Amino acid sequence: GDDEDLPADLRQATEQAGDALLSASKKGETFLRVGLLIEEMSRGAKQNQDLAEPRVLSRVADVFARKAGIEKFKIFFPNVGTSMQHKKWLTEQGSKAEISSLDRPPVLDGEELLVFVQPDIFGLKNAMKYVSLCNDLPYEDRPVVVLLNENFGEQEDKGDGFLGVPAMETVQARRLKSGFTVAYYLEQVLSRQSGIIVLFKQYPKKWRTFVADEGQYKLVSEDIKEPSEELLYEVVTEFAKQKQANKLWQSFRWKRQVEGLLENLGLPKPFQEDYKKK
């Protein structure tokens, strides 16, 4: 079916994300982004801490490092507090990563990979600093830099700064992100009119939009660039319309069949006005 590329669960999604990062880095891409925005993480984390977003994302980094044969890499959490929180767990999981945080002064130390887990607006300046430090290195010495579920708040900014975030910083966030290639993206969007929509991208394939329909996901659009909210809305509305039209056509065909049957039996048709009078 359309949806055979979609992961069945989180474990498969982290494997796919690792593969996508590997494919992109082999093609010489050094600045990469991954978005993993699934309901399962927020729901599941309540019962099982291993499903907490930072942990799932750290696993993506580990999977990629393992597949790429990377020995020396660093995972950055937004601040010292969050890094302490996850450090012990990562060590228990057998992660080779060195753990740090984005609120420490940026320094490179020969890492092959830098991973920023959920960097936010407070880590933006240092994330930018790391990018420029990497760009200063000769190409062959540059580490791969990965943004995982970055949240700089720039999507919510309508031009006048978001939640007190100066407009200048949202411009910087957009500029920073535009220098990163999306290697993997999986997002479930719930919409009132059409149920579950899934936005999916796995390097090097295009962006694909799926709509949940009768127990499976139907592919409704493929795009080279990340589809905007407006485009998603259009595509999904069109799909809903087609489906509605299809249902009407089905019922119309059924009506014709019933009429044909009644005609053969010489009975009046229930769909005709004069039927009610008899």
Q: What is the pLDDT of residues 217-250, one digit of tens each?
A: 889 899 999 988 888 888 888 888 888 777 776 6
Reference 187, options 61, 1, 17; nearest CA is: 17
Pairing of strands 181-191, 31-37: parallel
Which residues are within 8 A (CB) of 132 and not within 5 positions of it... i.e. 6 or more apart? Answer: none
> Three-class SS of residue 164?
coil
Q: Is the peptide bond before 105 cis (omega within 30 degrees of 0)?
A: no
- Rounded Cα distance between 98 and 87, Å, is 9
**pTM, rounded to two decimals:** 0.82
Q: Which of 122-131, 137-146, 190-199 has the lowest mean pLDDT?
A: 190-199
Contact 198, 188 (CB under 8 A): yes
Top pLDDT among 187 and 250 is at 187
Instruction: Delimit the domains of the chain by residue range.
Output: 2-225, 241-277
At 156 the pLDDT is 53
